[in-house]
Amino acid sequence: MESTENKANLRPKHHNMKQWSHRFKGEDSWTMFKVVSEFVQGFETLNLIGPCVSIFGSARTQPDHPYYKLAVRIAQQLTEEGYGVITGGGPGIMEAGNKGAHLNGGKSVGLNIHLPFEQGSNPYVDYDKNINFKYFFVRKVMFVKFAQAFVALPGGFGTLDELFEVITLVQTGKITPVPIILVGTEYWSGLRAWIQSTMLEKAGNIGPKDMELLPVVDTPEEVLQIINEFYEVRARELSPNYEL
């Protein structure tokens, strides 16, 4: 039989639970309508554009930087291949991606986010494809749903956030498998090596095939080669990545 002490330990304890410092107002319930309106605007605009490639990267990269120039060239070749280009609409690598599409007469999409320290839309976004978002999670859905590939150039926390979210969605089968391409061996090789040695080999937190989700390249030609081979092997029609 259980001792009296053990029985006492099993009894639920009563705590003085924390409370919100103020009562929620009705406006919080109305937020969902703002969210829905952003989804509607995004879907209605992007559904008409056709297959695109999302380009991620730092907003701080200057126009004279080699990675900026590389992003321009990548976007130019993507438009030659028939893809539109989606970026976050801001400066840096985002501007470079839109610039490459714009200079080549391709579709140039900007998904802007309202931030206190950034950002107006860069001048290379098509005026009818410039969408402003308040909510990060709505914006992320638009990045992912309409992209047939994801190209990540060097960037900061925002780039890593977008990159690992897409990897997770592909890994877990929540979206259609699509190419995810890291551009810049010097920048990305350390991260990829850590994922291999620590996450995979030491901890076993991912599987060996997951490493195939992270090819690292340095040229626009390699980016296009991965995308073209991916769709050639699968021989499937281009379509949005999932249905809500």
Write the pLDDT tens digit of every residue in 135-165.
999 999 999 999 999 999 999 999 999 999 9
pTM of the model: 0.88
In contact, 120 and 136? CB cutoff 8 Å:
no
What is residue 243's predicted lDDT score, i.e. its pLDDT? 59
In contact, 162 and 152? CB cutoff 8 Å:
yes
214 pLDDT more than 90? yes
Q: Give the integer Cα–Cα distance in Å for 150 and 221.
A: 15
For the domain with range 35-231, which CATH number is right: 3.40.50.920, 3.40.190.10, 3.40.50.720, 3.40.50.450?
3.40.50.450
Q: Which of 76-80, 195-199, 233-237 has the lowest mean pLDDT?
A: 233-237
What is residue 199's predicted lDDT score, i.e. its pLDDT? 98
Q: Look at residues 35, 89, 56 and name the one whose alpha carbon lies nearest to residue 164.
A: 56
Domain segments of the chain as ranges: 35-231
Confidence of residue 244 (pLDDT cuts 50, 70, 90): low
Q: Look at residues 45, 38, 47 and name the one whose alpha carbon lies nearest to residue 134.
A: 38
